[in-house]
Chains A and B, each alone.
Chain A
């Protein structure tokens, strides 16, 4: 059984006092990540493993990742971006042709 590598995204929290959660955006480079990119609501956490997000992208590639803060009225901050992040979700093929040679 193959094991997919866990990719963790961490960030410093917003310093606004009324923040109740965060939103993660992803876009495959070279397209810039923005608030129209695919999005996931994270809740009030500052660290997330991408594999735990529903319908997460699992295609190897280079991605732009953005995080915003959401306040208790639903207002959203500007987006903080990590650009050109190489992500390798797909494990290599297992070895094949294993033989045992008697010496």
Chain B
């Protein structure tokens, strides 16, 4: 059982709180790092998925042997991190980052999600030509 999904790093600390969980903000060109407590005994691997809330779709499943995992937000929107432990074809239940019984923010039990903004372009450069 995954006992805790730790808050992401690589994006600004929680700046806005919605509902009963914390919203992190990032841009879709940034990497985020999601970590969680390791199981004991260790499973063969973990599967991690970013669920896109507005589109109600799971992103691609990514396997990792140990936490943490570095991911990119593929497009604009809210994301919930989902993680499960896998041994061969046996899978645990999904642990979700919005579940305050599992998720952690600043060391405290609290659900969280991430909002990915469109990354801005570079600073405009003004030039002239005849």
Q: Which residues from chain A sit less than 8 Å from chain B, CB to CB?
A: 3, 5-19, 22, 24, 46, 65-71, 73, 75-82, 85, 87
Q: Contact residue range for chain B? A: 20 to 34
Q: How far does the Cβ of A28 sit from chain B's closest Cβ, in whole Å?
A: 15
**Which of B29, B127, B130 is in CB contact (< 8 Å) with A16?**
B29
Instruction: Evaluate contact between A14 and B118: CB separation under 8 angstroms.
Output: yes
A14 & B120 in contact (Cβ 8 Å cutoff): yes
Would A80 and B118 count as touching, CB distance under 8 A?
Answer: no
Q: Give which listed residue, A16, A73, A79, A82, contacts B126 with CB less than 8 A.
A: A82
On chain B, the residues within 8 Å of A14 by CB distance are 29, 118-121
For residue A58, give the distance in angstroms from its CB to the closest CB of chain B. Answer: 14
By a CB distance below 8 angstroms, the chain A residues around B127 are 7-10
Say whether B40 faces chain A, with CB atoms less than 8 Å apart.
Answer: no
A contacts with B: majority SS: strand
In Å, the complex CA distance between A66 and B127 comes to 15
Complex CA gap A70/B65 in Å reads: 37
Question: Could you tell me if A7 and B128 are in contact, using CB atoms closer than 8 angstroms?
Answer: yes
Minimum Cβ distance to chain B for residue A80 (Å): 5
A selection of 29 A-B contacts at a CB cut-off of 8 Å is: A3-B130, A7-B128, A8-B126, A9-B127, A10-B124, A12-B123, A13-B122, A14-B29, A14-B118, A16-B27, A16-B29, A16-B75, A19-B119, A22-B121, A24-B124, A67-B120, A67-B124, A69-B118, A69-B120, A69-B121, A73-B75, A73-B76, A75-B118, A78-B117, A80-B120, A80-B121, A81-B123, A81-B124, A82-B126
On chain B, the residues within 8 Å of A77 by CB distance are 27, 117-121
